[in-house]
Structures are given as structure tokens and as C-alpha cells.
Structure 1
Amino acid sequence: MGYNDGRSYYVYLLLKYLKRNGHEVFLCSNNPEAKERISDTGAEFFLMKELGDKKKLLKGKSVLTDFVEKKRIEVIHSHHRFSEFIANSVRKKTGVKTVFTALSIVDKRYFIEYRSDRLIAVSNSVKKMLINKFGVDGNKIHLIPNFTDTEELTDKIPLTEDVKKYLSEISQRRKVGFKIILTVGRFHKDKDQITLLKASESFKDNKFYFVFIGSGELYSLYSEFIKEKSINAILIPSQKDLRPFYEAADICVLCSLTEPLSGFLLQSGLFSKPFIGSDAEGILEVVRNNDNGLIFKRGDSAELKNKIFMLSEDSNLSGLLSAKLHEDVMKSFTEKTVMPQIEE
């Protein structure tokens, strides 16, 4: 579980609000670090290393069966395809019901996936993928969106020394008139942060400071690009508390090539930040160009540059777009509207 990984954020919110709403909740994970990361949800943690090891499938099935029977589990809710396969493999013996939330747009087929009793698709683009690419019966799919947490608007988590250092660097730029451009997400080709880096390269003579928060396989590539091109940018490791970074941002940007429904997009709206997104299908389900955000063609760094400059120069437009996105998120994409649908 990574703090800025959309799947982990979704699971964290499920645990938090299912527990608060009176359910007995457990997290079974092959990652020991997840225990600390969910400690404030009240959910119990159980380390099952076999869940992530395909070579130990039979052992994983046995361990999960014992757990289900011992704890009298009624529902297993999984979020990875291999975990779903193990969950479904113990269904017949234990009688447990299975639910799977599809949070990603995927291409590769394993012919064992999406066979839970109920499937949740977080966007229409995900639902279309399940039906058209994987042949899932549409009647099994429940369209329930990804969501964000309104308590983040008021919760104050103590800042670590590293976070204070990053915020100090951002603050120093703001004091001399820099606009802060924020993007959050895995450093992965699907997120296409390189398009934002290329756009930022053309801003070298302007006062823009680009903040990239995340981790992943492309970290070194992005770091070298920033150094080589002398870009006003900083790469910050994944953070548990993103609130101070949203508060410091002037504009939020998401460049995804494929996108189901971004938590970063929803949090940008939660914190009333002007948002610029690519024309990936999942983004277009929420963002309407010139109504609650701006849209640019995927991979087009020149158009993205123009959109950033447009928002930075037009405070009235920025205010109108951010207010409308905030309104839309608060209406349809928070725990208050989404959790009741999941609990059904």
C-alpha cells in the first residue's frame, strides 16, 4: 500500500468508514507496512504473505480458508485480481460471499478474473472495459464511483521534518511570485508525467514551480530530466497527508493516458483547486472543459502549457472552475454519498 496509490487510498477509506459504521472489518495483506498505515482506522490487520505469491496458491487458499472459518467472515472484498482469484477459490467450501472493486483500466487477461458474486466498477469507462473486454455480465456490475474523504478538510496531522522541509521550499517560491503546479500519482508511463515535465521545460523563464509527489519505476528518469533541463521542479516521495500540499498549490494537473477515476482529481475538487486534466475517458466523466476544469489532448505538452498559462493569468476563470469542481465532488464523490451504496 502506497500513500498516493489510488487503490490503497480507496481501501483505507473503506476500512475507516465500514468500521465506523459498525462493521467488523479485517485487512488481510501480504505487505507488513500496511499495518501501520491503517492503524487509525480501527480495522484489524492480518499478514498473509501467501496472498501475493502465485507459487504458493494452495497455501494461500488454505490460510484464507482457515481465517474465514475462524473469524466467521461473511464477505471478502478484494481489489487485486490474484487476491480475487484466491477469495473465489474458498467460496464454495466456506460459503463466503465475494465482492471485487475494479479500480483500473487493464489490458492483460488471465481468464480467472472478475468472477466474484458482485463487481463494483468505479466509473463508466471501467464498466465498459469489464463488459466489452472481459465479457462480464452487466447485471453483476454495480456502478459506484471512487470517492474522497471530507474529513481531510479539517483533520490536522502533525508535519514530519521532511514535510516541513518540502513545504519550506515551496513557500520560498511562493514568496517571490512563483505559481505552484501540483501533480500526485505513481511515476508510471500510464500517468504520463513526462508530458508535464516537457510543458514545464518551456516555462523556465516564467515563475512556475512544479511539484511531483509519488514513487515508482520512472523516478530516476524524471529526476535526470529535471536536472538536465534545469527545470523549476521537485520530486517528493509518497506522502500520507497530502492536505498541506493541496493547500500550497495554485493549479492541479493530471496527464494520464488511461484513467478509471482518479483520487487525485477528486481531492483537487475537495480542496477547491483549479484542475487541468487529459482527455482520458475516466477524467472526462467528471471534468467538463471550461465548466469545472480544463481538458487537453493526451500527450500534448504544448496544449497543456497553454492551459496552465491560461489559468495562471485568469483568476476569475480559476475561481469559477475550482468552485464548480468542488461543488460536484461534494455532491457525488465523498464518503457521505458513496459509502451507503457500498454497504448495500
Structure 2
Amino acid sequence: MKILHLVSGGDTGGAKSHIISLTKELDKLMDIKIICLIEDIFYYDVLEAGVNIEVFEQKKRYDMSVINKLKYEIVNGKYDIVHCHGARANFIAMFLKKKINIPIITTIHSDYKLDFKDNFYKRIVYTTINSMALKKFDYYIAVSDAFKEMLLDRGFKKDKIFTVYNGIDLNNKMDFVSKEEFFNRYNIPYENKIIVGIAARLDLVKDHETFINAANNVLKHRQDIIFLIAGTGNNEKRLKDLVREMEIEDYVYFLGFVQDKYSFFNAIDINVLTSVSESFPYVILEGARLKKPVISTDVGGINNLIENEHNGWLIDIGDSKALTEKILFFMNNKDVIEVMGKNLFESVKSNFSSKKMAEEHEKIYKKILKN
């Protein structure tokens, strides 16, 4: 099989991790090429991973000159399937579909109606366009059963939807600095403290307010703890103002974007995710590689990995009281942190490897071509 993956090239976070992990493993099973529409860090990271990639540059988001170039590549390259990732690629595929005669599929990485929640213009324009584009695809891959149900509820056909959970390469080298070096970078005193961290863009859908409210509650009981927030986003100023209003800025630190993500996970003791919506997030899988237990909202497909009291805790959306209780439980039972962290690693190792993810994609591609 010969598969073309079409992406924006500005991909970050979980989507970036997914595409690189997936294509790196698929490349061992078939002929894979990625085409991205802008040249950014994503392009260089894919090159470093050893996957074939090329840039078909769009000058602007609505530059349609790439469509004929893509048609030429697909027809002359004799590709079997085009596989898209993200709103920008979906938009181009909507027009490309009319010019080629092979199946086009897309991966649903997130709730597309919430992708631009923090930006009024993008929410009105890009969300509308992406919703239209998605209706044109032949098949869909949802990264959790919850997302498959979401698509069904919105009128997508059941026989056109497949589910494959995200997987991570457990053999890929993790580059990270020591805990001491990491905290010295930010001039944060950390000795004899429990470190609780959240790594997520500072957008409303990630609900950092629940994390901050829980931090405030915990600090009323214990002060031998600090809270790290890694990420940037439109909600940054409001969140920093909230921390100042609570007068807890000596315990809650905004790190900005952390390039070396495994240094962050190495530095923390407890990994937290408070999102209102998720698929099957890589921040949990990445933390698991360093045996960090997680407290997460019960959204998307996370409950397929997290088992209460075994490898972490699940809480309801916005439940800062429950998050407070779970953090204090870990603080009062520090030996459990290590036990649950090891259990989480074993759970990921058994069920959510990038190799297994790629093999599931191979089965889907073969089924689509057989159809």
C-alpha cells in the first residue's frame, strides 16, 4: 500500500505526537509520505524521525494553488489512500476529492466544534468550514469510542467510522534534564515538595481554572507542594490574574511552552488533566513513560486507560473538590505515587503502543481498499 498523509504542518501537542508516532510505525509496514502545507517545527521533527515528508507551501490558508499540485503527486505517485489530519488539511481535501479517484479519510483528533472555542472569528469561520469539509470524507478514524459516538450523534454513518486509540513509542529515546536542572531553569524552589503538574494549552477547553481552584484548596491544608502549569494560550492572562487574586503565586508557576516535554514529566510527581473535552491525550501517555500517575477528568477515551486506585483517578468535569481530595490523598500516601505510576506504565505498555496503533491502521486501510 501507498498512503499519503496530509497535514497542516503547524501541528503541535497531541496531534503532532500522534502523526509522528503513527507514520513512523506505518513506514515499517507500507509506503508512507507526509505532505504538510506550511514549514514549521513539525516538518523538522518528522525529518528527524526518518519519515518521508515534503512541504507544499500555502501562502495563506485559502491559497488553493496546492490542490492541482497535490492531484499531480497523488495520480503520478499512484497512491491508494489520502489520510488527512486537522482542519486545514480537511479543507483542502474537500476540493481535492473532486479531482482524484481514491478514498480520502480523516482522523478525528478532537471535538471539532470546540477546536477554536477561545477565538470568536476562528470559531465562526474555521469551525463552520471544517464541519462542512468533514461531511465530504469517505471514512473517519476516531481516536476513542466516545468520539465515534459523537460522530454518530451528529449524523455520520456508522459503517464509515473506525476507532483506533492513540499509541506511543515506548522505545523512542526520552531526552530530559535532571529535576534539579529543570527547576533551576525557572528559579523555582522545589526541595521537599510534592510537584503537581498540568501540561495543556491555556484555552477554555482545558479548564485550568479547576486546577487552580484545587491548588488553592490544597494549600489551605498543606504548603509542602507546588503546582506547575506548562503551556501558552489565549486564556493565560485571566489565569495568571486568578492566581494573583488568590495570593498563591508563590506556589503556582506558569512555565510557558516547554520544548523538552519529558523534562517536565520527569520533574513532576503527579500528572493532572482537567479538560472539558479530550480524545485520548498524549500528555497522559507521555507521563506514563516516566511512571507518573494521573488525575484526570473522565472525558473522551481516558477511562479505557485510567482505573481508579490502580493507576490514577478519574474525576468529573469541573470538580475541584474531588481533585483537591485526590491530591491530598497522594500527599498523605506518598508510597502510592510510585505504585500507581508503575501500574500506569504497564497499562500503556500492554495496550497503547504505537506499534499496535499502526497495525490497527493497516487493517483499516486494507478493509477500505477491499470495499
TM-score relative to the length of structure 1: 0.86
Question: Is 1:73 the equivalent of 2:91?
Answer: no
Indicate conservation of the 8 Å contact 1:12/1:41, yes or no.
yes
Q: Tell me which residue corresponds to 2:289.
A: 270
Q: Write out aligned runs for 1:52-91 (5 A).
A: 53-54=61-62, 56-57=63-64, 59-91=65-97
Q: 2-side partners of 1:2 and 1:291: how far apart?
A: 37
The range that moved more, 84-93 or 266-275, is 84-93
Indicate conservation of the 8 Å contact 2:10/2:41, yes or no.
no
187, 195, 206: which one aligns with 2:202? 187
Cα deviation digits, residues 131-173 of structure 1 (max 9, x gap) = 111x121112111101222024xx153769xx98643257963
Cα deviation digits, residues 71-117 of structure 1 (max 9, x gap) = 44332211124422422533353323322111112335533314433
Q: 2-side partners of 1:245 and 1:16: how far apart?
A: 24
Indicate conservation of the 8 Å contact 2:218/2:327, yes or no.
no
138, 147, 165: which one aligns with 1:126? 147
RMSD: 2.8
One-letter code of the match for 1:7? A
Indicate conservation of the 8 Å contact 1:185/1:214, yes or no.
yes
Indicate conservation of the 8 Å contact 1:81/1:114, yes or no.
no
Cα deviation digits, residues 154-202 of structure 1 (max 9, x gap) = x153769xx9864325796342x11111111111111111211122123
One-letter code of the match for 1:138? K
Q: Tell me which residue corresponds to 2:235.
A: 218
Which runs of 5 or more residues in structure 1 are unaligned? none
32, 43, 68: which one aligns with 1:35? 43
Cα deviation digits, residues 249-278 of structure 1 (max 9, x gap) = 110000011111111122222322111011
Question: Is 1:26 the equivalent of 2:34?
Answer: yes
Task: Go from structure 1 to structure 2 and tell me whether the alpha carbon gap of 1:213 and 1:158 turns closer, same or farther (over 3 Å shift).
Answer: closer
TM-score relative to the length of structure 2: 0.80
Q: 2-side partners of 1:102 and 1:320: how far apart?
A: 33
Question: Is 1:103 the equivalent of 2:109?
Answer: yes
Q: 2-side partners of 1:73 and 1:283: how far apart?
A: 34
Secondary structure class of the residue paired with 2:35:
strand
Q: 2-side partners of 1:319 and 1:333: how far apart?
A: 20
Indicate conservation of the 8 Å contact 1:52/1:83, yes or no.
no
Q: 1-side partners of 2:358 and 2:228: how far apart?
A: 31
Q: 1-side partners of 2:354 and 2:183: how far apart?
A: 28
Q: Tell me which residue corresponds to 2:331.
A: 312
Indicate conservation of the 8 Å contact 2:218/2:328, yes or no.
no
Indicate conservation of the 8 Å contact 1:122/1:143, yes or no.
yes
Secondary structure class of the residue paired with 2:343:
helix
Q: Tell me which residue corresponds to 1:207.
A: 224
- Percent of pairs with identical residues: 21
Indicate conservation of the 8 Å contact 1:184/1:212, yes or no.
yes
Task: Go from structure 1 to structure 2 and tell me whether the alpha carbon gap of 1:4 and 1:194 turns closer, same or farther (over 3 Å shift).
Answer: farther
Cα deviation digits, residues 294-332 of structure 1 (max 9, x gap) = 122211222211110101211343334323322221111
Q: 2-side partners of 1:63 and 1:3: how far apart?
A: 22
Q: Tell me which residue corresponds to 2:193.
A: 178
Q: 1-side partners of 2:214 and 2:265: how far apart?
A: 21
Task: Go from structure 1 to structure 2 and tell me whether the alpha carbon gap of 1:171 and 1:262 turns closer, same or farther (over 3 Å shift).
Answer: same
Q: Tell me which residue corresponds to 1:139.
A: 159
Task: Go from structure 1 to structure 2 and tell me whether the alpha carbon gap of 1:280 and 1:70 turns closer, same or farther (over 3 Å shift).
Answer: same
The range that moved more, 138-147 or 315-324, is 315-324
Cα deviation digits, residues 3-25 of structure 1 (max 9, x gap) = 85211111121232233445242
How many pairs were matched up? Answer: 336
Task: Go from structure 1 to structure 2 and tell me whether the alpha carbon gap of 1:76 and 1:238 turns closer, same or farther (over 3 Å shift).
Answer: farther
Q: Tell me which residue corresponds to 2:350.
A: 331
